[in-house]
Amino acid sequence: MTTYLLKRLAVLLASTAVAAVAVFAFMALLPGDPAEIALGVNATPEAVAELRRQFGTDRPPVAQFLDWSGGLVSGDFGTSYVTGAPIGPQIAERLGVTVVLVLGGMVLALALAVPLGTFAAVRHRDPLGVAISAASQVGIAIPAFLAGILLVFVFAVRAQVLPSGGYVPITEDPGEWLRGLLLPWLSLGLVQGAVLTRYVRSAVLDVMREDYLRTARAKGRGAAGALWRHGLRNASVPVVTVLGLQLATLLIGAVVVERVFVIPGLGDLLLNGVAQRDLLLVQGVVMVLVAAVLLINFVVDVAYHLLDPRLR
């Protein structure tokens, strides 16, 4: 296990390094010179050259990359071309908000999908089981932002029990913080929960046909006891894979939901950066998102190994 962990960790570091090169190269290839953008169309060539020198964009790309990636290691993402403020602290603050949003949505999705999916599998012949399966299909067809808009319409516009958007830091008012996050969590959680319900259902259905479940019953367990003790952990192996993929999609998809609910997360920061052509900020946010996806995959692989002794 330890050797596996070290190996997998090495892979994580290597792939993050490759990702850094890719992100940097991609941004460098984009047309547009930060100095020209900052000074506008009427700037003199001398002023542009001077600003380039200040930004450091007059140096060869390799030197720029080494400078940037060296900073990343210590959490220094450089200084914004537009505002002149350091980028690292901004990303850290926004990342916290996004992580809370995404994890909350995921927990809700799991809380819905595990019991519903299991129930739908056990009762796959009953009308109720079929109904859950069909309802989850509908849930999959609805994108998260649309679910968000519908939820806002029902709870904020009609019933007026929850705010339609906005974000209050937990340090200011925990109650308002929670109220502000409920609808975003719901819109992410319902949609992801619907997708996950289908995966849980099919995983449990597969497990129910396994011989070891019959063995468990031959030992004297009831059908429910056998499924609980022997089935669910086995069913969780494929579900964990999907969970990892979903978490990654959710992180990227949060960009849209943050827009709908006016939440100052990483997605919001990214869109602002794009709008203001703050290239270094965009580069930093993209790098963080890519690294987060790589980290999720790492966690999924390790979870796999903990769950399934055949992989050890």
Partner 1 sequence: MLKVEGLTVRAGTVELVSDVSFGIAPGERVGLIGESGSGKSLTALSLMGLLPEGVTASGRARLGERDLVGVPESRMKRLRGGELSMVFQEPMTALNPLMRIGAQVAEVLTLHGRPRQEARERSVELLERVRLPGPAQIARAYPHQLSGGQRQRVMLAIALANGPGLLICDEPTTALDVTVQKQMLGLIAEVAPALLFITHDLAVVASLCERVLVMYGGRVVESGPLREVFTRPRHRYTQGLLAASRLTPRGTRLPIIPGAVPAAGHFPGGCVFRDRCPHATPACATTPALTGDGHAHACWHPAD
If binding means CB under 8 A, how many residues of this protein chain bind partner 1? Answer: 22
Q: Which of residues 59-88 bind partner 1 (CB under 8 A)?
A: none
Q: Are 294 and 8 in contact (CB under 8 A)?
A: no
Least Cβ distance, residue 74 to partner 1 (angstroms): 42
The residue within the footprint of partner 1, chosen from 26, 153, 215, 274 (CB under 8 A), is 215
Tell me: does residue 212 bind partner 1 (CB under 8 A). Answer: yes
Q: What is the CA radius of gyration of the chain?
A: 24
Only one of the segments 127-135, 172-180, 194-202, 212-220 lies at the binding site for partner 1 (rule: CB under 8 A); that segment is: 212-220
Helix (H) or strand (E) holding 28: helix 2-29
- CA distance linking residue 208 with residue 156, whole number of Å: 43
Q: Residue 116: phi, psi to the nearest 5?
A: -65, -45
Burial class (CB in 10 A: 0-12, 13-18, 19+), 271: middle
- CA distance linking residue 229 with residue 35, whole number of Å: 63
Least Cβ distance, residue 240 to partner 1 (angstroms): 13
The residue within the footprint of partner 1, chosen from 234, 246, 283, 297 (CB under 8 A), is 234
Tell me: does residue 211 bind partner 1 (CB under 8 A). Answer: yes
Tell me: does residue 206 bind partner 1 (CB under 8 A). Answer: no
The residue within the footprint of partner 1, chosen from 13, 54, 131, 219 (CB under 8 A), is 219
Binding-site string for partner 1 from residue 245 to residue 284, where x marks contact by CB under 8 A and - marks none: ----------------------------------------
* Residue 254 DSSP label: H
Structure tokens at 225: 């006891």
The residue within the footprint of partner 1, chosen from 60, 84, 175, 220 (CB under 8 A), is 220
- CA distance linking residue 46 with residue 49, whole number of Å: 5
Q: Where are the beta strands (DSSP E) in the chain?
A: none
Tell me: does residue 53 bind partner 1 (CB under 8 A). Answer: no
The length of the chain is 312
Only one of the segments 26-34, 157-165, 209-217, 240-248 lies at the binding site for partner 1 (rule: CB under 8 A); that segment is: 209-217
Burial class (CB in 10 A: 0-12, 13-18, 19+), 29: exposed
Q: Is the dihedral of CA 174, 177, 183, 184 positive or negative?
A: negative
**Of the two residues 112 and 204, which places its CB atom closer to partner 1 in the complex?**
204
Only one of the segments 80-88, 215-223, 238-246, 260-268 lies at the binding site for partner 1 (rule: CB under 8 A); that segment is: 215-223
Least Cβ distance, residue 201 to partner 1 (angstroms): 17
Least Cβ distance, residue 107 to partner 1 (angstroms): 24
Closest Cα to residue 132, out of 185, 82, 71, 196? 196
Binding-site string for partner 1 from residue 4 to residue 43, where x marks contact by CB under 8 A and - marks none: ----------------------------------------
Helices within 74-126 (DSSP H only): 87-122
Q: Which of residues 108-147 bind partner 1 (CB under 8 A)?
A: 125
**Of the two residues 125 and 158, which places its CB atom closer to partner 1 in the complex?**
125
Q: Are 150 and 245 in contact (CB under 8 A)?
A: no
Q: Are 242 and 196 in contact (CB under 8 A)?
A: yes
The residue within the footprint of partner 1, chosen from 110, 230, 242, 301 (CB under 8 A), is 230
Tell me: does residue 214 bind partner 1 (CB under 8 A). Answer: yes
**Chain residues that interact with partner 1, rule: CB under 8 A:** 125, 210-212, 214-223, 229-230, 233-234, 307-310
